[in-house]
Amino acid sequence: MSVKSTAARRTTRGGAKRRGGEPELVQLLTPEGKRVEHSEYSIDLTPDELRGLYRDMVLTRRFDAEAITLQRQGELGLWASLLGQEAAQIGSGRATRPDDYVFPTYREHGVAWTRDVDPLNLLGMFRGVNHGGWDPNENNFHLYTIVIGSQTLHATGYAMGIAKDGADSAVIAYFGDGASSQGDVAEAFTFAAVYNAPVVFFCQNNQWAISEPTEKQSRVPIYQRSAGFGFPGVRVDGNDVLAVLAVTKAALERARTGQGPMLVEAFTYRMGAHTTTDDPTRYRADEEREQWEAKDPILRLRTYLEAEGLADEEYYASIDQESDALAKRVRDGVRTMPNPDTMAIFENVYADGHALVDEERAQFAEYLASFADETEGH
Ligand SMILES: Cc1ncc(C[n+]2csc(CCOP(=O)(O)OP(=O)(O)O)c2C)c(N)n1
Ligand SMILES: [Mg+2]
């Protein structure tokens, strides 16, 4: 795999074209599945690597669909689907190295997949049986973060730390278009720029923050906002896994080689609801979804693979089989997840204990014991 990037510093105005006449959006695979070149970003993948990206996206989508079903069956309290964002997540996740550190939001199931986090472990928090479900340091994949934008600060602090340690790895922070309006993100941009921190800010712009459209977040395309902080930004077609991979690799390499932070805006669309508690038909037009279905990231790569003769029916059948097996493992696994001990909620609040927590623990134990008396009385 090879990637090249020349200075991704060219600033652009809000129009659809860059000054050089190239589209504002970096694209290497058109929605019709045609391979195109870009003057600043390029990538050369082997057939195995291309098929691997397809497999990653299909399995991630299947896992996601299974999780939605499990929520509908009452096995999960909530699920935040990534439907439509597979290329943005797989492309960027596959751009990372094992020694890089990833700070996700609550929706980075595809990125988790690329970091070898067992998909089953992502479900514990959504089932309410744990607060995370994986060891962040095992795969350098931080726990999911629901406080919008806060992980960009954690990522920046971490990046400043590894830079001081002299490490040659980088950090990537995921966030949404809505999060880009948060003060935390502005503060993270400031610190990252001033300290030249090796961090890539990866914004998945799905054009909505629940029911709030992107026009309410920014008067300029999101990728242009980094310019005011003093570092470059680029907009990539978030439904083009090749372009996302090329751009993110270049941004991470830039960070690793001491050139500081970069903002990558992956322009995409989540075809599903914000979460399983949301009904997007209340605020989004059906035609909008239909337009984006035509840009489906998986279909796009499949069209290309087929046109190039890189995959046959046997290959697709094997991926389908693998998807079925993953879905079954996830279904069985979630249903048999052990419930935590009720008192466990008081653990891990403070490393060395705390008088107030001790008091609350005792009160709660007494409260639970009061039910035992009632049961005995009947
Ligand atoms: C600090 C904070 N404010 C509000 C919320 C409630 N909330 C959860 S998701 C969300 C929208 C986030 O939109 P965006 O950043 O675009 O991410 P997306 O879910 O679209 O991927 C909001 C407001 C929250 N979790 N944290
Ligand atoms: Mg959004």
Same domain, 279 and 359: no
Residue 307 domain-assigned (yes or no)? yes
Query: Residue 55 catalytic?
Result: no
For the four alpha carbons of 6, 242, 196 and 207, in that order, the dihedral sign comes to: positive
CA distance 87 to 48: 17
What pLDDT does residue 304 have? 98
133 pLDDT band, cuts 50/70/90, is: confident
Phi–psi pair at 202, nearest 5 degrees: -110, 105
Residue 276 domain-assigned (yes or no)? yes
Residue nearest atom 12 of ligand 1, based on CA coordinates: 209
Cβ 309 vs Cβ 111: under 8 Å: no
Phi-psi region of 166 (alpha: psi -120 to 50; beta: other; left: phi over 0): left
Q: Mean per-residue pLDDT for 193-211?
A: 98
Which amino acid is residue 214, in one-letter code? T
Which range is least confidently modeled, 7-11, 30-34, 327-331?
7-11
What pLDDT does residue 131 have? 86
pLDDT at residue 20 above 80?
A: no
Same domain, 11 and 135: yes
What pLDDT does residue 139 have? 98
Same domain, 228 and 369: no
What pLDDT does residue 9 have? 33
Same domain, 313 and 252: yes
Which amino acid is residue 367, in one-letter code? Y
pLDDT at residue 128 above 90?
A: yes
Ligand nearest to the CA of 108: 1
Lining ligand 1 with CB less than 6 A are 107, 146-148, 176-179, 204, 206, 208-210, 274
Residue 114 domain-assigned (yes or no)? yes
23 pLDDT band, cuts 50/70/90, is: low
What pLDDT does residue 8 have? 38
Residue nearest atom 21 of ligand 1, based on CA coordinates: 176
Same domain, 330 and 352: no
377 pLDDT band, cuts 50/70/90, is: low
Query: Residue 13 catalytic?
Result: no
**Structural domain of 166:** 2-335
Structure tokens at 339: 């419930």
Same domain, 353 and 214: no
pLDDT in tens, 224-274: 999 999 999 999 999 999 999 999 999 999 999 999 999 999 999 999 999
pLDDT at residue 11 above 50?
A: no
| Total number of residues shown for the chain | 378
Residue 129 domain-assigned (yes or no)? yes
Same domain, 315 and 360: no
Domain containing 146 — which CATH number?
A: 3.40.50.970
Same domain, 211 and 352: no
Measure 268 CA to ligand 2 centroid, in angstroms: 9
What pLDDT does residue 1 have? 52
Mean pLDDT value across the chain: 93
Contact partners, residue 350, CB within 8 Å, separation at least 6: 357
CA distance 64 to 190: 35
Residue 80 domain-assigned (yes or no)? yes
Same domain, 86 and 174: yes
Q: Counting atoms of ligand 1 from 1, which one is nearest the CA of 149?
A: 1
34 pLDDT band, cuts 50/70/90, is: very high
Same domain, 30 and 173: yes
Cβ 251 vs Cβ 8: under 8 Å: yes
Phi–psi pair at 199, nearest 5 degrees: -130, 140
pLDDT in tens, 178-192: 999 999 999 999 999
Pocket test for ligand 1, best of 145, 204, 210 (most atoms within 8 A of CB): 210
Residue 340 domain-assigned (yes or no)? no
Measure 203 CA to ligand 2 centroid, in angstroms: 9
Q: How many structural domains compose the chain?
A: 2
Residue 288 domain-assigned (yes or no)? yes
What pLDDT does residue 190 have? 98
pLDDT at residue 154 above 50?
A: yes
Which is catalytic among the residues 283, 335, 350, 354? 283
373 pLDDT band, cuts 50/70/90, is: low
Q: Mean per-residue pLDDT for 322-338?
A: 97
Same domain, 259 and 365: no
pLDDT in tens, 289-306: 999 999 999 999 999 999
CA distance 36 to 31: 11
Residue 35 domain-assigned (yes or no)? yes
Measure 105 CA to ligand 1 centroid, in angstroms: 9
Ligand nearest to the CA of 176: 1
Structure tokens at 117: 């986090």
How many C-beta atoms surround the C-beta of residue 98 within 10 A? Answer: 9
Same domain, 352 and 279: no
Measure 209 CA to ligand 1 centroid, in angstroms: 6
pLDDT in tens, 51-108: 999 999 999 999 999 999 999 999 999 999 999 999 999 999 999 999 999 999 999 9
